[in-house]
Amino acid sequence: MAPSQSAPPAVDAQALAQALSTLGLMYGARDKLAGHAASAQDESEAIRNFIRTERAHLLATYDLDALVTLVLDAKNRNHSAPASIEQYTPA
């Protein structure tokens, strides 16, 4: 009998964090993204929940579906942002 293996999580929080960081949307919210990713059924749901709660101000200007598409596209391109984006400390 083979040892039981746990299924990988439905959402790769690290890949989503990298995509959000590439777009400048990750600053200071990695732990919160991890929580959304852990409870989501898929990446779209994780992104939607993250934006609704952590970046809700964006919804005054941008369509939620467009933002989800933008983040997923950034994830698929697998680009990374310079580390300086998340190291910025406003005065």
- Give the model's pLDDT for residue 35: 92
For residues 69 and 22, the answer to whether their CB atoms sit within 8 Å is no
Inform me whether the pLDDT recorded for 84 exceeds 70: no
- Residue whose structure tokens are 């400048």: 24
pTM of the model: 0.77
- Give the model's pLDDT for residue 10: 77
Q: How far apart are CA 34 and CA 29, in angstroms?
A: 9
- 72 dihedral zone (left: phi>0; alpha: psi -120 to 50; beta): alpha
